[in-house]
Structure 1
């Protein structure tokens, strides 16, 4: 298997072209760039010979599935349409970003239930659980989900929590950096 390096925008474009769940990057590229004549070899050639397989390596040791890439691309696409900087309160921006991540990563989002600090649990499926972990947690519902999150944190803590959420659901480092730049460009 060979690896190539590509820029993030191209990687997201390729992933956005997925037509079937589980479709590999090779399948997508083959469909997009190879002429039909190369896809259907002439009779008489050895169709049983194994073809070399190439993978796109996004500077990470673990290769993301096309579905994960599409989910991340969908998050960014929706965030671009939200105009987050027009929302004056950071907590409202942050909850919106969490909500969009949950929308596209519903199954993986359960991992956030394990997130906690020294004395506080950060996420729960009910408000009372968070209220029990401290007197000033100010829990709020992540819109569109059954999850609650503590919100009585400064912006830097919210950014760090968002980084951990993004990591938990499968975002890579560059996607996490892009997410933070969207949420709080003044803190990048």
Structure 2
């Protein structure tokens, strides 16, 4: 049995919990930093990255989250979660957790009314994957150790660097749970991202 946490400060927490459920997976809703000591992998849901960072600071999560990632435990960030993971954010002087060698641009696909759905072919994961883009960022640039998993209209929308997985969209808002299943596999089989 593996234990995967969903950071429950903001965003579609329930939807991620549902998407992660499997017979050999225990899902923990993470509301306190101490809970990080008891989980094997962590999901950063979407939301609003600046608000999420404020809540991370307010509830004492910043250093524990950095330590969790530094210890090589898998982390999956969706939408705003991907922004938290980037080491560079366009138009912002300081990154948040800075765990992935990538540059992101917030709201790159436009505001709420420009939200859309698309089907993506994703390296390692599958074809025709349902993706919901809501005020989504794009990944402008990745470092040499980052693998691009998917693009949309030429823009990078999903990437992996070792134990870290990030996407611009909201896979939890669909019934297509293949990205979550891939993350569960990353947690279960560390050799996949060594």
TM-score (norm 1): 0.28
More helix by share: 1
Give the structure with higher Rg (CA): 1
TM-score (norm 2): 0.27
